[in-house]
């Protein structure tokens, strides 16, 4: 990848943009960075009440299970959303200065990943303490997180570039958020579904393999929360998906990058 080398010269810009994105998000708010954790904790509390007590989910340590799934969701879906908006919200840079545009979505997604990292910092010791499986699969966790991050970068690049030309993209993503969240195994696992659901194997298959976030969530829940090795099929799927996504993202972005300054 020769085209990656000139990017190194822009490492300071990347760092600056990441810092700015993180600080900008909570600038002038009294609780500041604490919001990164208050948000998911509130969601976890509500879902915990609904699905543990009202629907009676059989999963042990259900709140922590939710929190782990939510961390992956924040990393991937949150990254997609901020990535999609990133070029437009930094239009003043794009139209005035020459630098590799790819830095903007990459920095926005990285800043979002910082929030997911804060969640991981809380989830990791609790998982180690509470999980009943083995610790060995934790070795795979860093690799899986990188795979999730790479996938998000790839998808975010596509969305960021396309959103410059069709501003509907960010609204579509916002509209998809809640339904997509429900269709992703975050507050349930496929193995703990009620018996009635097991008859719809085809549907579950579609939900499982048609949604690349689903296998990602499953793999990370397995290694971090359940202490088991993730299913090989899921692991291979996410690795291939993220490699494909980052290549597609790079190509699409490079093609659409040239005329961006005109469209903003």
Partner 1 sequence: MRGQVRLHHVSRRFRIVHERSLTLKETIVRRRRVAYSELWALRDVTLDIRSGEAVAFIGRNGAGKSTLLKVLAGILPPHAGSVEAGGSIAAMLELGSGFHPDFTGRENVFMNGALHGLRHRDVSARLQKIIDFAELADFIDMPVRTYSSGMQMRLAFAVAAHVNPDILLLDEVLTVGDAAFQAKCMDRIHHFLDHGGTLAFVSHDQNAVRTICSRAVLIDGGRVVVDGSPDEVLPIYEQLLEDREGGIGADVPDTVWSPPASVADPEYHHEEEGGEPPIRFTPDPGTLPVEPSATIKRMQITDPPDPDAQRRLPAGATVVVEVEVETNDPIAVLSMEITVTDSLRQTILETHSSDMAGALPQERGGFTCAIAFSLPIQEGWLNVNAIIRDLTTGARLDQWPESVPLFMERTWPGDGVLAVPVAWSVLPTADAHDNVSPGKTVWRWGRSA
Residue among 38 and 172 whose Cβ is closer to partner 1 = 172
Which of 3, 4, 15, 128 is in the footprint of partner 1 by CB under 8 A?
15
Segment interacting with partner 1 (CB under 8 A) among 20-28, 29-37, 179-187, 225-233: 20-28
Q: Is 3 in the site for partner 1 (CB under 8 A)?
A: no
What three-state secondary structure class fits 185?
Answer: coil
Question: What size, in residues, is the chain?
Answer: 264
Q: How far apart are CA 80 and CA 156, in angstroms?
A: 5
In whole angstroms, give the CA distance from residue 112 to residue 75: 7
Q: Which stretch binds partner 1 (CB under 8 A): 89-97, 111-119, 207-215, 229-237?
A: 89-97
Is residue 5 a contact residue for partner 1 (CB under 8 A)?
no
Query: In the numeric block, which tokens belong to residue 79?
Result: 């990254």
Among 27, 56, 125, 178, binds partner 1 (CB under 8 A): 27
- Choices 79-87, 142-150, 192-200, 256-264; region in contact with partner 1 by CB under 8 A: 256-264
Applying CB under 8 A, does 262 fall inside the site for partner 1? yes
Residue span binding partner 1 (CB under 8 A) among the ranges 48-56, 66-74, 162-170, 238-246 = 162-170
Q: How far is CA 158 from CA 33, 72, 94, 217, in A?
A: 29, 20, 17, 22
Are the CB atoms for 223 and 83 separated by under 8 Å?
A: no
Q: Is 168 in the site for partner 1 (CB under 8 A)?
A: yes
- Asked if 93 interacts with partner 1 (CB under 8 A), we say yes
Asked if residues 254 and 222 have their Cβ atoms less than 8 Å apart, the reply is no
Q: What are the tokens at 143?
A: 């690799």
Cα 32 from Cα 26, distance rounded (Å) = 5
Q: Please identify, using beta-carbon distances, which residue of 90 and 221 lies nearer to partner 1.
A: 90
CB of 81 to partner 1, least distance (A): 17
Give the residue with the Cβ less far from partner 1, 127 or 164: 164
HSE (side-chain half, CA atoms, 13 Å) at 12: 1
**By CB under 8 A, is residue 28 in contact with partner 1?**
yes
**Dist. CA 194–CA 137, nearest whole Å:** 28
Complex with partner 1: residue 89 or 211, whichever CB lies closer: 89
Three-state SS for 98?
A: coil
d(CA 83, CA 77): 10
Q: How far is the CB of 72 from partner 1 (least distance, A)?
A: 28
Q: How far is the CB of 165 from partner 1 (least distance, A)?
A: 8
Using CB under 8 A as the binding rule, whether residue 252 contacts partner 1 is answered as no
Tokens of 141: 């966790």
Any contact of residue 232 with partner 1 (CB under 8 A)?
A: no
List contacts with partner 1 (CB under 8 A).
Answer: 9-10, 12-13, 15-17, 20, 23-24, 27-28, 90, 92-99, 166-169, 172, 258-259, 261-262
């Amino acid at each position: 990848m020769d085209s990656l080398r000139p990017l190194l010269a822009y490492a300071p810009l990347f760092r600056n943009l990441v810092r700015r994105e993180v600080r900008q998000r909570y600038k002038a708010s009294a609780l500041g960075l604490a919001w990164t954790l208050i948000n998911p904790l509130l969601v976890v509390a509500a879902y915990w009440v609904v699905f543990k007590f009202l629907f009676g989910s059989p999963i042990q340590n259900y709140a922590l299970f939710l929190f782990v799934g939510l961390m992956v969701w924040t990393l991937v879906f949150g990254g997609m959303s901020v990535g999609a908006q990133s070029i437009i919200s930094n239009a003043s840079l794009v139209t005035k200065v020459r630098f590799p545009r790819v830095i903007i979505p990459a920095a926005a997604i990285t800043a979002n990943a910082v929030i997911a990292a804060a969640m991981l910092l809380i989830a990791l010791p609790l998982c180690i303490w509470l999980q009943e499986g083995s610790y060995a699969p934790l070795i795979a966790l860093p690799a899986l997180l990188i795979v999730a991050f790479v996938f998000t970068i790839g998808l975010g690049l596509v969305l960021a570039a396309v959103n410059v030309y069709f501003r509907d993209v960010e609204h579509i993503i916002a509209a998809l958020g809640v339904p997509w969240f429900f269709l992703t195994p975050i507050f349930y696992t496929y193995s703990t579904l009620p018996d009635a659901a097991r008859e719809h194997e085809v549907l579950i298959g579609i939900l499982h393999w048609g949604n690349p976030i689903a296998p990602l969530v499953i793999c990370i829940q397995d290694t971090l929360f359940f202490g088991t090795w993730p299913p090989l099929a899921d692991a291979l799927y996410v690795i291939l998906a993220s490699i494909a996504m980052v290549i597609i993202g790079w190509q699409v972005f490079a093609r659409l990058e040239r005329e961006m300054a005109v469209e903003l």
